[in-house]
Structure 1
Amino acid sequence: MAHYRKLTSLLAGAALAVSGTAAFAADYTLTISSWAPPTHNINAKMWPKFTEMVEEATDGRVTTDLKLGLAPPPAQMDLIQDGAADLSIIFHGYQAGRFVTTKLIELPGYTGSAEEASVAYWRAYDKYLSNADEHRGVKVVAMHTHGPAQLHTADKVESIDDISGLKLRVPGGVGGDVGEALGATGIKVPAPKVYETLASGAADGVVMPVDSRQGFKLTEVAPHLYEMPGGFYRGSFAFIMNEGSFQRLPEDIRTALEEEVFGEPISREIGKIWDAGDQQSLELTKEAAGNTMTVASEADQAKFEEISSGIIDEVITQVGETGVDAEAAYEMLSSELSAD
């Protein structure tokens, strides 16, 4: 964390400062660090929605300032702990071993939209997963997940057996476990590097949410979409905040944020944005020249369900070892995201 000391000192005057130029004549400006491309929905819609909710809840006394490129994706947790920015988004799978309980929402087999899954995730986190204290050192603002992750490839994939032997960019966490179980060679690069990894031929494809076809321009470098109903996994994300930044806000503002923004309200809104991004990307895929969409056959779905069962059992065991009631948390998620 020491390598952020200089950055911390440079930003100290900007983060959580009285701002004379901020919109609505805000009294406090929270600095957001984000690693996604400028046009990705994380920056184009999620953080703006968060800001809108914060400004509304605080009558314009608090606003935000979005900064891109302060640190790579895996470093965001340390960046916020150091106070180099007030808020950030983290993808739990980028930090192997640091987060275990977050793998529960990543498991294949759930149904439901990203909105429904994000709400269920927050509730399971609030009731069970937070007991593991894996986010110690920061304040958790939201827990959320994208829609079902699918396979995007340079060459067309028509069956689950075609995946074996492919070089696939996979995230950490359950996404990596699934890739390995399917016989793919995993290539781990952060999401912002996906386009160039595929364009260079270093990978044959990527497993990501459909939203990424637009957000990371996959229609250009991975024109073929192979869809597994329910998805291969769901990614786990959190919005986090520096504890000191939160505590330095006046009590009435902290109360307003806790009651009207943080937790389930913003988690739900982020899920809605993930869902809308999926739909936009599906339409884009239909319109893009050379792009195809293939839905897994019933036989392939059954084969994947069998593969998934072992991954699910292993993750529940891992989460249980943290002291969390993994079975109860998994049952809660499954119940809220059941087909019925």
Structure 2
Amino acid sequence: MKKITTLLATASVCAGMLMSFNASAVTTLKVGTWLPPTAPQNAVVWPTWAKWVEEATEGRVKVELEYGLGHPKSMFDLVEDQVIDASFTVNGYVPGRFSLGKLAELPGESPNAEKASVALWDVQEKYFNKANEYDGLKLLGLFVHGPGQLHTTFPVNSLADIKDKKIRIGGGVVNEMGQILGVTPVGAPAPKIYEMMQQGVVEGVFLPVLDLKYLRVAEVSKYLTAFPDGMYTTTFSIFMNPDSFDALSEKDQQALMSVSGEKLSRLAGKAWGDADADGYAEAKANGIVINKLTDSDPMVTEFKAATASMSAEWIEQADAKNVDGQAALDMFRSLAK
């Protein structure tokens, strides 16, 4: 009897220790990134979100960055295959899969990255979720970078000057825009741009101004042509493996999402948009000729006329996915501007 009592007591203590261990166990989410440590996503967005997640889960969930995992487009596969738990990348790197997010990329629609990022998330929640474009992924946030501009090794005084020029494009709406403008498109991931411009493989790129610093484009470019509302922008998704998400307790799932969604989208949009100031400073430091256009500039008028049909084409694409394209565009415009 005494032995049985002792065994029961020991079992009770062990069970209590196990429960205590499980309650205090820490889950570390591995987050993949493909940009350098100084880029806004890695210097601002991920560290801030990691702090939010840790605080919201009372230390039960932590975030760890992993660099150098390959081409940015591979992030979707790496997360879906649970090689890593979460990541972010450019929607346009996977043509056809994420067509609805191109709404925010349309010329002149996203002059402010923070407002546009929040607007895109809200439109996603109201109109786009039902299209299931993120099937196989847990969507955590959406954002855009600052207005995309034109960076070249030659002066640009009219749109005719870029016709047939070898221009790097990155996917999404910018590909369609480049076709309309008659450039010779050269596809490549963002980290390859410095090398391509240095070697003369391309004569220009469409990029936000921040990349003059963070991708060192200021060292290989000579001219910046800046449109007042930008030429386009790029949609990024922040996503997680559904099984990794489901492995968290319900309490921690709710905590993680409380610091994701619109809050994470706003954080990312603001960080990327604010970084354009660093790009302009880098341009001046490297002697780049900056041509800031105004709404009355003939080149701006010409650009707006050339790209005017793109919004109608996007509406058709949205309608084909049983999404009210016009209503989504109207909502986005009212929130983004």
Partner of 1:190 in structure 2?
Answer: 189
Tell me if structure 1 keeps the 8 A contact 2:110–2:233: no
Q: How does 1:1-340 map to 2 (within 5 A)?
A: 27-259=26-258, 261-288=259-286, 290-296=287-293, 298-338=297-337
Partner of 1:4 in structure 2?
Answer: none
**Offset at residue 337 of structure 1 (A):** 2.3
Tell which deviates more after alignment, 227-236 or 291-300. Answer: 291-300
In structure 1, distance between residues paired with 2:240 and 2:160:
43
**Offset at residue 111 of structure 1 (A):** 4.8
**Offset at residue 106 of structure 1 (A):** 0.6
With normalisation by structure 2, the TM-score equals 0.89
| CA deviations over 1:290-337 (Å, ceiling 9, x no partner) | 311112352111111111211221122112111111111111111112
CA RMSD of aligned residues (A): 1.6
**Offset at residue 26 of structure 1 (A):** 7.3
In structure 1, distance between residues paired with 2:87 and 2:298:
41
| CA deviations over 1:149-179 (Å, ceiling 9, x no partner) | 0001112223222121211001111011111
In structure 2, distance between residues paired with 1:212 and 1:237:
16
Q: For this pair of structures, how many residues does the alignment match?
A: 313
| CA deviations over 1:197-231 (Å, ceiling 9, x no partner) | 11110000100111111110010011311011111
Where does structure 1 differ by over 6 angstroms across 4 or more consecutive aligned residues?
none
Tell me if structure 1 keeps the 8 A contact 2:111–2:147: no
Partner of 1:17 in structure 2?
Answer: none
Provide structure 2 residue ranges, at least 5 long, that are not aligned to the other structure.
1-20
Call closer, same or farther: CA 1:164–1:139 in 2, change over 3 Å: same
Name the aligned partner's letter for residue 99 of structure 2: V
**Offset at residue 110 of structure 1 (A):** 1.7
In structure 2, distance between residues paired with 1:270 and 1:278:
13
Name the aligned partner's letter for residue 48 of structure 2: K
Call closer, same or farther: CA 1:165–1:112 in 2, change over 3 Å: closer
Tell me if structure 2 keeps the 8 A contact 1:86–1:242: yes
Tell me if structure 2 keeps the 8 A contact 1:107–1:312: yes
Name the aligned partner's letter for residue 327 of structure 2: A
The sequence identity of aligned pairs, in percent, is 38
**Offset at residue 264 of structure 1 (A):** 0.3
Rg larger for: 2
With normalisation by structure 1, the TM-score equals 0.89
Tell me if structure 2 keeps the 8 A contact 1:158–1:296: no
**Offset at residue 38 of structure 1 (A):** 2.7
| CA deviations over 1:93-130 (Å, ceiling 9, x no partner) | 11111221111111012254111110001001111112
**Offset at residue 88 of structure 1 (A):** 0.5
In structure 1, distance between residues paired with 2:159 and 2:293:
7
Partner of 1:10 in structure 2?
Answer: none
Tell which deviates more after alignment, 236-245 or 154-163. Answer: 154-163
In structure 2, distance between residues paired with 1:122 and 1:188:
27
